[in-house]
Amino acid sequence: MAIVLGPNQYGKAENRLVTVTRDGDVHTIKDLTVSTSLRGDLAETHLTGDNAAVLATDTQKNTVYAFAKEAPVGEIEDFALRLARHFVSSQEAITGARVLIDEHSWQRIEENDHSFVQGSNEKRTTAVTVEGSQAWVVSGLKDLVVLKSTGSEFHGFPRDKYTTLKEVTDRILATSVTARWRYQGSGIDWAKSFSEIRSILLRTFAAKHSLSLQQTLYAMGEAVLEERSEVAEVRLSMPNKHHFVVDLSPFGLENDNEVFYAADRPYGLIEGTVLRDDAEDPGQAWYSLPTF
Ligand SMILES: O=c1[nH]c(=O)c2[nH]c(=O)[nH]c2[nH]1
């Protein structure tokens, strides 16, 4: 029996980067959390502590900030691609790089040129992987919280001796959507694609009469694939943010689906992938991202 080093990567996680771009007096800000990780011939540092191949995580952090100055950050996908390609092309030992970026939202305060209010907690995301000359872009969003106050039912599930859940034909359906979609093809307008996919997800959540959150999840992924040819695969993670009808009968009151207890845990966690059956195999890079 021999003990060997398995897959490994290293980098600087969650660099907080804010840029201010000035067009005369009008400022624009970008607020990003950038994580880098590198892979390659890194056995020596693990086995002997020889760091000749180790581009320090501190250097990776500095590169993120320097790149933000040297050229406009632009769309997060382009910034991530630039960084990942730089690490792979400039370091002989490094054969692969992954750059994850979350973009936090700020909105301009009224007509003010340089004051902003933080938007919701929703983030736009990207995960770019470069291996040699190949690149994969998986973009998405997280913490997109949505609720519909009707148009949702849940019944027909098995009843065993532990089942207490009532069947319902009208309930609140609420979730916090994490979506990741894998791009295929080239020449993609990242900003336009993002905003159209986001509105497809919202529109489908709202319009689809739901018999289960699973059905809603599939419909949301299916709609993205039907409308956006640049997307090969969509992964969705959707916690069921339960809203329980409060029993008001002890107070002699009838609750006609009007008063709810919004539970924060435990929550049902519904996760799934919707894909084209002829999508090209993305290889290891996609599969080694977090599954959902
Ligand atoms: O849409 C739902 N899917 C479930 O799997 C489930 N399970 C549950 O208790 N409530 C719900 N709702």
Token reading at 279: 């999508």
Active-site residue among 19, 33, 45, 57? 57
For the chain, give every domain's residue range.
Answer: 1-132, 140-292
Name the nearest CA neighbour of 36 among 141, 126, 124, 106.
126
Q: Give the residue ranges of the chain where pLDDT is below 70.
A: 291-292
1-132 and 140-292 share one fold? yes
Kindly report whether the peptide bond that precedes residue 266 is cis, defined as omega within 30 degrees of 0.
yes
User: Is there an atom of ligand 1 within 6 Å of 154 CB?
Assistant: yes
The pick from 211, 215, 216, 240 for probing ligand 1's pocket by mutation, whose C-beta has the most ligand atoms within 8 angstroms, reads 240
Q: Given the DSSP bridges, would you call strands 243-245 and 134-148 parallel, antiparallel or unpaired?
A: unpaired
Q: Which CATH class is domain 140-292?
A: alpha beta
Could you write out the DSSP letters of every residue in 157-197? ----TT--PPPBSS--EEEEEEEEEEE-SS---HHHHHHHH
Ligand 1 mean position, distance from CA 219 (Å): 16
Asked whether the beta carbons of 143 and 176 are under 8 A apart, the reply is yes
The pick from 212, 218, 237 for probing ligand 1's pocket by mutation, whose C-beta has the most ligand atoms within 8 angstroms, reads 212
User: Is there an atom of ligand 1 within 6 Å of 272 CB?
Assistant: no
pLDDT of residue 245: 97
pLDDT of residue 292: 67
Q: Does the domain formed by 1-132 have CATH 3.10.270.10?
A: yes
Query: Residue 100 has what DSSP assignment?
Result: E
pLDDT of residue 286: 72
